[in-house]
Every structure is written in C-alpha cells, then in structure tokens.
Amino acid sequence: MSQSVTLLSEAKRQGFYEMLQFEQNLDSMNKEVNQKLRSSKSFPRIGLALGSGGAKGLAHIGVIKVLEHHKIPIFCIAGSSIGALVGSLYASHRDIGFVENLALSSNWRQILSFIMDPCFGGGFLSGKKVEDFVRVELKSKRFSDLSFDFSAVATDLKTGEAVILQDGDVATAVRASISVPLVFKPVIFGKYLLADGGLSEPVPVQAARALGADIVIAVNLDTHYFSSKRSWNNFYHVAEQSVNILRYHKAKSCVLNADVVVEPAVSIRGLIGWKDFLLNKKIIQSGEKAMEKVIPLLQQRIFSFM
C-alpha cells in the first residue's frame, strides 16, 4: 500500500515538474514572439474603435492598459462619445496612467461641476464646462498636434449621418461627440448640427479603418443589458430597455467588420450613467479583464496578417 502511494506521489511530482517546465517554455515563447512581432517591419497597424456608453467608457482605459502591458502598439484611435473623450486624452498625452489618474481623481461633485452648465436652448446643458475642461487637459491641442491619428465621431441631426471629425480643435470635436440629445445642446459645426456619435456609430469601426488601421479592435459597451430578474411593471424600465435594445443591435452591426471585439462586462443601466463614475475602479478593471481574454485572438490576427 505504502509503495503504491509513494509511486503515485512521485508520478504527481513528475507531472507537476513537467507542467511547470511547459509553462516556463510557453512564457519564454511568448516573450520571443512579442519581441519578434514588435521588431518586424511588417507589423500591422493596430487601430482602436472606442465605443459610446457614458460612464461605462472608463473600461476603455483598462483596454489600453492591457495593450500597453503586452507592448502592442496603437497606430490610431477612433472614438464615439465617451470613447472620443478617452481616446483624445490618450492621443494627447500617450500616457494611459495619466488618463487613469484623472478618472480616479474625479469625484461625483467635480464631475457635476463640469457638466451642470444649464442652457434651455436645444438641451439642458450647454456643454461649455465640459469643453473647457477637455481643452485644458488636452492643452488646447489640434488634431495635428496629437501623438498619433485620432478621430471623433458625431452625428448630424439634420441628416442622421455619422460625421468623422479629424481636423481643427480637438476639444470642440470631443464636445460634439459627447452631446447626448436633450441633455447637451447640439454643436453647430460648419454646415452640421452635431450630437452624440453613439446615435449613428456607437462603435466606430469604419472610422478606425479610414484612419489606416490594418487590424481594428472594437470595444463594444452595449452588450450587457439583459436580465430575467428585472421587473417590467415600471414604465420607465420598459422605455429604458427599449432604448437599450436599439443600442444593442446598432452596436452589434457596427462590430461585424472588426477583427477583434472586446465586450467589457459592465451592467450599468441608462444612457449616461454619470453617477456611476463613482465605480471608476471596477469599470476600468472590467476593461482589463475583457481585453486580456482576447489577447490570444489578437496575436493570431497579427500573425495571420504578417
């Protein structure tokens, strides 16, 4: 009996060492692969399509953190609504730590002070405080001053078409992209009357392609809307879910042509969810987890391109 137990223990020990050796070899191989990819002249241009979704957009920070951790370079970013805000800050500073610290340092009262700028002409909030805040953080940069190609997507209320903004003042473009109808006053931009980009392109995959991306990583925040536990006896809940369903299907169609789709598990309800910025750490972590899940797929896409 004791001899059998000893043999079994030795077998387990040998199996453990073999598994450990395999993991070490795998880790070494991944490092070698990453080094080879980054040094290759044919490395594909990686583009991010950062979707709309209010406070859920803090998950974009987590996505970029993981890409930086794996040393996967970002060639360009197209952002819609909150995706335009996060994308512009990263394109300006090229430091996701700065963007994260900015998000973590902003408490509920500070955010309210930025957005509570009443204006009863076409929207409750004029958006001037948000625009001024963004302009300060971007150091009044123009698109040509950014560290890589970036575009903000807005929607023309006159035609319903998406408008890609990639010239001129970045803060004005971001202000237009985050202008939720009936909440923020629309932005007059040349011949356009611009509102939130999420109305037309909740995940701006095509805009990222237009910037020259070979591989587009789409971050879709319009996925976790459905639950059998929710009560449907409330009129507001039915109306809210109706909007969510429209957003869900629109976003789903937008990501069809993406190479990699990231879907952070953030179950915030509502179109804006500004009060949920209090959950900033958890939301950022949801982006990290979702991006880590698709890193193997992204690596496959990179290899197949080369």
The residues that are catalytic are: 81, 196
Q: Are strands 76-80 and 162-165 parallel, antiparallel or unpaired?
A: unpaired
* Spatial separation of the C-alpha atoms in residues 64 and 13, rounded to whole Å: 40
The letter for the amino acid at 56 is: K
Q: At 284, is the secondary structure helix, strand, or coil?
A: helix
Q: Phi and psi at residue 75, in whole multiples of 5°?
A: -85, -40
CA-based nearest residue to 85, from 172, 183, 162: 172
Token pair listed for 248: 């869900």
List, in sequence order, every beta strand (DSSP E) within 137-259.
149-156, 162-165, 182-184, 187-189, 192-195, 215-219
CB atoms within 10 A of CB 13: 10
